Structure 1
Amino acid sequence: MEESQKVRIAAVADIHVRETDKGKWADYFKEVSEQADVLLICGDLTDTGDEMEAEVLSDELKHCKIPVVAVLGNHDYEKNRHKLIRQVVQKENVHVLDGEAVVIKGVGFAGVKGFGGGFDNYMLSMFGEGAMKAFVQEAVDEALHLDRALARLDADHEDIKKIVLLHYAPIKDTIVGEPEAIYPFLGSSRLADPLRRRNVLAAFHGHAHIGTLEGEIGGSVKVFNVAKHILTKAGYAQPYFVYEV
């Protein structure tokens, strides 16, 4: 990618599309298409994890004229129909990532849902009951899937600029504002390690509706909580955040 070429990335999370939303998102996706080159949707595409909600979203995305990259969120898993939701939404111009990566306009995008587990010194450890170990293992697996996706980008594209999509937070800074008691269910520091080691430029997530818009990892990796609720509260007329690479 030439140094002078800029790619405008629009990002949002937690759009929670319902069956009654037909026609609601058309103008939104039209405007995003004019203001950005790529749209990221960082989880909770649907409200109750129903494939009919995904059908509505798929129809609304026909108004989006730029590539879309997405990951699923916890709401999309609610009815155990997440595979159907991914199948419905994913099209030629819509990429739903789950441990995969895609290159668009010279930028590499890697995505996983992520999981909870807590942050820093309060991160849950692999100890105790089987249920607790399984909870921690889920976060470990998600971090490993993300690392592999980023490794593939590095192997196939030398010095590519890398952007990550998550639903769960990789750092505590962008969930500040939520009750501390639920921090372990909003993200995990295990997700931060691949971002740091693989020299990711920026990561986008949602899930924490009353968190904080911006944070960073080690002074080098920008992290943005782009939950629609946060963007609306911050005064964005249309809830999408634009980041230029």
Structure 2
Amino acid sequence: MENNKQQNPIRIAAVGDIHVKETDQGKWVEYFRTISAQADILLLCGDLTDTGHLAEAEVLAQELKACTIPIIAVLGNHDYERDQQKTIKKMLENDKVHILDGQTVVLHGIGFAGVKGFGGGFDKHMLSMFGEPMIKSFVQEAVDDALKLDRALAHLDVDYIDIPKIVVLHYAPIKETVVGEPPEIFPYLGCSRLVEPINRRQVLVAFHGHAHVGTLEGATSAGVKVFNVAKPILQREGYEVPFYLYEVELKPEPATQEVVSQQG
């Protein structure tokens, strides 16, 4: 894709948990048109469908045609409900829509890395890989996604020098942005294993969803901003059109080509 003359700042719209239903035909057209008029890139932070039904993904694919800017997305737990996640990914992906699961995309001079993430808890209360095989499998899932995220960010570090890096997740990497949910379910809302590569790889900002009654904004121990952009939170915070707009100032550079890079 050719990259037009670079503009500053780059405007990034982010939202999660849109939960598109089979009966939503036409509901999202104006929403995506509004985002396209105000942003340069759209991030969708998981739970794109309501129950993981292919008919819901088909509706979303049609609705996304109203979006005229590039889309970077990850799937969420609802998209996995019917074990059709691979088909949903294929149905939604095209030249404009990039569904990440350990891959990277570079657009407008910004590197994006995305994984769904998983649960496991936070900080000193994080589950350890000890005990029954079922617990070990649960913890291993979070470890695997953290490793996928680290490899994706490492790929950006090797192939692109000194570009801003943004992480797209569904599950939370820090406890701060799930506060508001019942503490008993924190282990199912995210995992601190995800934050280690975010801190070490000097990520600019991370976006996630999943915790519908969590907290909009937090930060990692290294000061990386984290935003929980679940649509219900944005509505609660008074966003008339529920998406979060984040601006990235780029260093002046000669115009280059947009690069889409897949790995992992």
TM score, norm. by length of structure 2: 0.91
For residues 22-76 of structure 1, the C-alpha deviation after alignment (integer angstroms, 9 at most, x for no partner) is 0000000000000000000000000000111111001000000000000000000
Letter in 2 for 1:202: V
Alpha-carbon distance in 1 for matches of 2:198, 2:247? 18
Match of 2:158 in 1: 155
Match of 2:184 in 1: 181
Aligned counterpart in structure 1 of residue 121 of structure 2, from 118, 121, 136: 118
Match of 2:204 in 1: 201
Q: Secondary structure at the match of 1:125?
A: coil
**Considering only aligned residues, what root-mean-square deviation do their CA atoms show, in Å?**
1.3
Aligned counterpart in structure 2 of residue 5 of structure 1, from 1, 5, 8: 8
Correspondence list, 1:46-195, <5 A? 46-195=49-198
Match of 2:226 in 1: 223
Superposition deviation, residue 241 in structure 1: 0.1
Superposition deviation, residue 102 in structure 1: 0.2
Alpha-carbon distance in 1 for matches of 2:235, 2:213? 11
Structure 1 unaligned blocks of 5 or more: none
Alpha-carbon distance in 1 for matches of 2:12, 2:222? 21
Superposition deviation, residue 219 in structure 1: 4.7
Are the equivalent residues in 2 in contact too, given 1:14–1:42 (CA < 8 A)? yes
Q: Secondary structure at the match of 1:134?
A: helix
The number of residues matched between the two structures is 245
Alpha-carbon distance in 1 for matches of 2:128, 2:199? 21
Structure 1 segments of 4 or more deviating over 4 A?
A: 1-4
Alpha-carbon distance in 1 for matches of 2:164, 2:7? 14
Alpha-carbon distance in 1 for matches of 2:45, 2:54? 18
Superposition deviation, residue 5 in structure 1: 2.4
Letter in 1 for 2:196: D
Are the equivalent residues in 2 in contact too, given 1:112–1:165 (CA < 8 A)? yes
Alpha-carbon distance in 2 for matches of 1:150, 1:40? 17
For residues 72-105 of structure 1, the C-alpha deviation after alignment (integer angstroms, 9 at most, x for no partner) is 0000000000000000001110000000000010
TM score, norm. by length of structure 1: 0.98
Superposition deviation, residue 4 in structure 1: 7.2
Match of 1:22 in 2: 25
Match of 1:242 in 2: 245
Q: Secondary structure at the match of 2:245?
A: strand
Alpha-carbon distance in 2 for matches of 1:3, 1:195? 26
Are the equivalent residues in 2 in contact too, given 1:201–1:220 (CA < 8 A)? no
Aligned counterpart in structure 2 of residue 36 of structure 1, from 18, 39, 63: 39
Q: Secondary structure at the match of 1:20?
A: coil
Structure 2 unaligned blocks of 5 or more: 249-264
Match of 2:262 in 1: none
Alpha-carbon distance in 2 for matches of 1:233, 1:150? 32
Are the equivalent residues in 2 in contact too, given 1:115–1:168 (CA < 8 A)? yes
